Amino acid sequence: MSILVTGGCGYIGSHTVVELLNLGKEVVIVDDLSNASAKVVDRIEEITGKRPSFYQQDVVDKDGLRSIFKKEQIEASIHFAAFKAVGESVQKPGAYYENNIMSILSLVEVMAEFDVKKIVFSSSATVYGSLNPSPYKEDMPVGVPTSPYGQTKVMCEQILRDIYISDNNWSISLLRYFNPIGAHESGLIGEDPSGIPNNLMPFIAQVAVGKREFLNIFGDDYETQDGTCVRDYIHVVDLAKGHVKALDKLNQAPDVYTYNLGSGQGTSVLELVHTFVAVTGVDIPYKMAPRRAGDLASFYANADKALADLNWKTEKSIEDMCRDTWNWQSKNPNGYENQ
């Protein structure tokens, strides 16, 4: 029996596939490669010694999915496949609503046809919106997200809850995670954003490798310890292990489980920059820029529930995240297009 990983060639998906394979699981990747590289499959094999099955396929295409389910013995799915750039979602809301909503609807419909009713869903801390105070807890009301991307995560969570209400044989895990950074310690897989990065760490890494002249820091007048935004950073390998734990939980009893995956610690933009410089010895020139609309001063997780229910917590430090990011970026200055 295999685990289906949609978006398995992407940043978080590829690291999760590695963890699954290392535990002896069979894995089937479905990815349309719209924001990923097929070279990831070779890198995964190089790390684990095992090659996952791979289908270049859009999850929205139900007939294409059905053909995969007919060929492979799928027992559960982990769904990463979605558009994820917050800024782009503001510019192209229709594309985000269409892709992110239709992909989950397509997947669960085909899963139900084949009586596969276990799914781990890649959600986001953005569902808490701007009204809840940090640290965020799972029992807080879902807020008003500041972007169409965040709104699609709220809607997908609701779709999955409604599916469970209609058929309580489903076992569903909603994973709300915070700011994944870092890379696999091998330096073979990591974050490879197309175009302009949407997150802080890829910008830092691109400055470090010489692709960008300096880093813009948006706002230095927030009510935080140094005036810059505070976020909850989590190593992508810790995050991947959280998905594996959540998958195991689905075997206990049908239900809808909701977990924050974060460190529970806030780190400011300047703290992250200074740590990167200290760990790597590479200077990161930066300039202060005006605040960006929609940025919150501070948000971080309360991850107690994941510890209690899943026996999961973060293990890697900010220093580990910076070191592994630089290991990846320095070996792959142009991402997967090096070769």
Quick: pLDDT tens for 15-25: 999 999 999 99
The pLDDT assigned to 338 comes to 61
Residue located via tokens 């909850």: 232
Query: Residue 63 is encoded by which pair of tokens?
Result: 């007939």
Dist. CA 199–CA 150, nearest whole Å: 15
The pLDDT assigned to 194 comes to 79
The pLDDT assigned to 262 comes to 97
Give the total number of structural domains in the chain: 1
Q: What residues contact residue 160 under an 8 Å CB cut-off, 6+ apart?
A: 104, 108, 119, 121, 170, 172, 174, 256
Dihedral angle over CA of 38, 1, 20, 52, nearest 10: -20
For residue 325, tell me if it sits in a domain.
Answer: no
120 membership: H or E segment, kind and range: strand 118-124
The pLDDT assigned to 49 comes to 98
Secondary structure (H, E, C), 34-65: CCCCCHHHHHHHHHHCCCCEEEECCCCCHHHH
Q: What residues contact residue 57 under an 8 Å CB cut-off, 6+ apart?
A: 30, 31, 32, 64, 65, 68
CA distances from residue 100 to 67, 91, 156, 193, 227 in whole angstroms, order as listed: 21, 15, 8, 18, 34
For residue 17, tell me if it sits in a domain.
Answer: yes
For residue 333, tell me if it sits in a domain.
Answer: no
CATH number at residue 309: 3.40.50.720
The range of the structural domain enclosing residue 10 comes to 2-182+234-263+302-315
Q: What residues contact residue 52 under an 8 Å CB cut-off, 6+ apart?
A: 5, 8, 17, 21, 26, 27, 28, 29, 41, 44, 45
Dist. CA 82–CA 101, nearest whole Å: 9
| pLDDT tens figures, 90-119 | 999 999 999 999 999 999 999 999 999 999
For residue 286, tell me if it sits in a domain.
Answer: no
For residue 213, tell me if it sits in a domain.
Answer: no
Q: Residue 203 in 3-state DSSP?
A: helix
Q: Which residue numbers are catalytic?
A: 149
The pLDDT assigned to 293 comes to 79
pLDDT in single tens digits along all 339 residues of the chain: 999 999 999 999 999 999 999 999 999 999 999 999 999 999 999 999 999 999 999 999 999 999 999 999 999 999 999 999 888 899 999 999 999 999 999 999 999 999 999 999 999 999 999 889 999 999 999 988 889 999 999 999 999 999 999 999 999 999 999 999 999 999 999 999 877 787 899 999 999 999 999 999 999 999 999 999 999 999 999 999 999 999 999 999 999 999 999 999 999 999 999 999 999 999 999 999 999 877 889 999 999 999 999 999 999 999 999 999 999 999 999 999 864
For residue 147, tell me if it sits in a domain.
Answer: yes
For residue 284, tell me if it sits in a domain.
Answer: no
For residue 102, tell me if it sits in a domain.
Answer: yes
Dist. CA 129–CA 296, nearest whole Å: 9
The pLDDT assigned to 87 comes to 82
295 within 8 A of 218, measured Cβ to Cβ: yes
